[in-house]
Amino acid sequence: MKHALHLGSKHRVLAASLALCSAGATLAQSVDAHIAPGILRKGTGAGQENPSAPLTLTAWLSLHTRGALDARVQALYTPGSPSFHHWLTAADLGQYAPTAAEMAAVQAELKAHNLSVVSADPLNLSVRFTGKTSDVESAFGTQINLYTVGGKLVRTSTRQPQLGGAAAGLVQHLAGLNSMQPRPAGTRPRNAAPGHAAGFLPASAFDTAAFTSECFSYPQTLFFSDSFSTATYNGLVYSASGGTAATDGQPACAYTPAQLQKVYGLDVAFGLGYTGAGQTIVFINAGAYPSAQAELSTFSSLFALPAITSGNFQEVAPYGTEAPSATAPAQLGADSVPLADPWAAETGAALQWAHATAPGADLVLLNAFSADTEELQAATLYAITNHLGNIISGGFAEPESMEGAPSLAVWNEIIEMGAAEGIALNFASGDQGDYSDPDVFFPNTGSNYTYSFSPTEVSAPADSPFATAVGGTTIAISPTSDAAFTTGWGTASGPVGNARAGYTIQPLATFMAGSGGGPSAFFPKPGYQANLPGTARLLPDIAALADPNTGAEYVLTVPATTGTPSYQSLSVSGGTGLASAIFSGIWAVINDYAGAPLGQAAPYLAATQGSLVADVLPIEGPDNVTATTTYNYSYGSGTNVFSAAGLVPPLFGATQFISALVPTNTGIFGENYSLLTFGTDLSLVLTEGWDSVTGYGTPSVGTALLEAGAKPKQ
C-alpha cells in the first residue's frame, strides 16, 4: 500500500524551488582545471613519471544535451510536475549518453597510441584502458608528473588531457591521472592522551553490556596537590569506567542498536511494521573485504537482529579487487595491535548499522577494485546502471581541492544519473571539520591566543547537489535511552594536570575530529537550498551519530599476527561514514512507509523541517569544567581561577560547548587527566535552523510518523 510521500505539514515548502543546478556549472576552477589545486598548494614536485610505468585509466566521454537532462531531473523532484517521481530508466538516460559511434572513435584513437581497451560501460559514458605512461602522454597531449603530498607520492598531469584525431572533443576527463585517494570516513574513540587508542573486546568477552552507555558521570570535584601547588576541578567527568583512569584497551562508551533506534524514533516505525522491507541499500567499499558477512552475522546475533542470509545480503565485485589498501592510514587498537584495513572497518560498521536501523532492508556490499577515485566512480556507476538498490551509502570523503574540477564534474554526473533513476546517494561530509588544519596554538601575552588556518573547504563527493551530504552529531543518552543532549560533532582536547602535580597547564586545545561542512567552492546552490544564504552548494543536509566518543558498537576482525590467529572483536565506531549508513537505514524505513522510492533525500529534508528533521541547537553544559589552582614557589605564589571558557579559550567559532574531564592513563606521576570538549568543530558552528555542522538537523522518524497519522503496515 502506498502512503502519502510527504511526512510533514511543510511538505510544499520550497516546492517551487526544488530545481537542481546544472552538473557542469562551477563557482571556481583552477587555472588549469585538470590539476587538483590542493596538490599544487600542499604538494612538493617530485619529477616526471617514469615513461615506461604502466597506467590503468578511465576516459569519461561528454554527455549530450546536458541542459535537457538537468531540466528533466528537476521535474522529477518538483511536486505538481507531470513527471514527478516518474523515474528514468537506463534506456531513458541513454538519450543523453555518448553514442556508440563516439565510443568507437575514442577506442580507435586509444588503440592507435598503443593503449589497450579493458572495458566500457553500457551507456558509453566511460572506457577503461591500460598502457605505458609515454603512450598516454602522447595520446592526450600532456605530461604526467609526480608530487609528494602528506608523505605520499601521487600523480597528476601538467595540463588538461585532450584526445586527438576523430575523438577530439569527446573526452571530458581522464580519471586516474590524479592518484589521490579519498579517505574512509570512519573513526574510533581515542584515549585523550596522545597516541592512545581506545580498546576492543575479543570474541571470548562478547557482552552487549560491555560498553557503558552513560558516557558522562555526574559532576565531580577532583583535588590534586603536591609540595608546591594544588588544583581543584569541578565538572563532568567523561569516562567509560565511572571516573577511574583509562588504559589502553579499556572498553569505551558506546550505544546499542536498541538505544539508537529509540533516539531516532525508529521504535515507533518498527512498531507500525515499517522496517525498510522491500528496500536495498548498497555500500561502496574499496578492495577486498572477506570477513564482511561473518562480522555482520555476529553483530546480528549479538543484538537480536534478523539473521544474515543469501536472501538479504550479497557481495559484488564487478572489476575484481586488490588486497586491502596498504596506503590507508593505520588504525591501532589495544597495545598498538593493528586493526583491520580502515576501509573494511568503516564499511563493516556501516553495514551493521544500516541493518540495525533498517532490519528489513536488503544489503549489497559493492567492492571497488581499489581506493582510487577512478575505481570508486566506476563502482558507483555500476551500482546505478545495474540498479543494485534504491539507496547507495558512500562512507568516504576527500577535500574538493584534491579532486579537481573535471573529477568533481564526473562525480556529479554519476550522482545525477542515480537521482534520475530514483536512487538516493548519501555521502559522508568528512571527519576533519573544515579541513583548515590549524597549527599548534601558542599563547600570546595575557589571555590572547593565536590561531592559524589554511583555506577551509568541503568534501567530495558529498558536495554534489544531487547527493545528500550527511554530517555528524554527538549524542549523550540517559539511563532511559532518551537523548539527554545532542550537539554537533566536533571535539578538541588538551592536558590539564595529574594526580601528583596539582597544576593546570596553560590552557590550549587541539582539534581531534569533527563533522565536515560549509560552502562548496565548485558547485552553485541548488534550488532546494534557495532559502539558505550565499550562492554555493552548502554541506551537510542532515546529520546522525558520528562522534566515536559517544559511538556505536560494532564487530570487526583483528588480523592475525605472529603466533596469534585472527579473531573477531567488539569495538566502537564513529565518523560521518557511520552517520551516512545510519541515515541510509532511516531513509530505507521512510521509503518503506512511502511505498515507493523517494529518490534523493536532500530536497525532502529541506522541505520537511520540523517533522522529519529535529533541529540541533547549540548548547552549553551547566556542569562544564572549572578550576582553581594555587602555587607557592620560591619566585612567587598566587591563585588562578579558571572559568569553563578560561580552561578552553574560545574554540574556533564555538562559544557554547560541553566540556568534561577525561581520566586517561596512569603514568609515573600518577593518574593523568585531560579536558575534552564537545561541539567545537573548527570554524563550523551550530545555529538555529540549517548550519554547517548538522545541516537541517537530525532525523526524527517517530515524530514524523505520528504527525502524519501513520497506520500499521498492511
Kindly list the structural domains of the chain, giving each domain's residue range(s) and its CATH number in brackets, ordered by start: 15-180 (no CATH), 184-625+646-707 (3.40.50.200)
Per-residue pLDDT, 169: 93
Per-residue pLDDT, 265: 95
Give the number of C-alpha atoms closer than 13 A to the C-alpha of residue 8, restricted to the C-beta side: 21
Residue 318's contacts (CB-CB under 8 Å, 6 or more residues apart) are 366, 379, 382
Per-residue pLDDT, 2: 43
Per-residue pLDDT, 115: 97
Per-residue pLDDT, 655: 83
Residue 140's contacts (CB-CB under 8 Å, 6 or more residues apart) are 157, 161, 162, 163, 174
Per-residue pLDDT, 127: 96
**For residue 382, which phi and psi values (nearest 5 degrees)?**
-60, -45
Per-residue pLDDT, 452: 45
* Cα end-to-end distance, the chain, whole Å: 7
Per-residue pLDDT, 210: 62
Residue 449's contacts (CB-CB under 8 Å, 6 or more residues apart) are 441, 442, 443, 508, 649
Three-class SS state of 327: coil
Give the β-pairing of 216-225 and 391-394: unpaired
Per-residue pLDDT, 668: 45
Cross-strand bridge partners of residue 391: 281, 424
Q: Which cell numbers hold the place of 594? A: 512511502
Give pLDDT < 70 ranges for the chain.
1-35, 190-210, 239-252, 323-340, 437-454, 479-483, 496-509, 562, 609-610, 649-652, 664-672
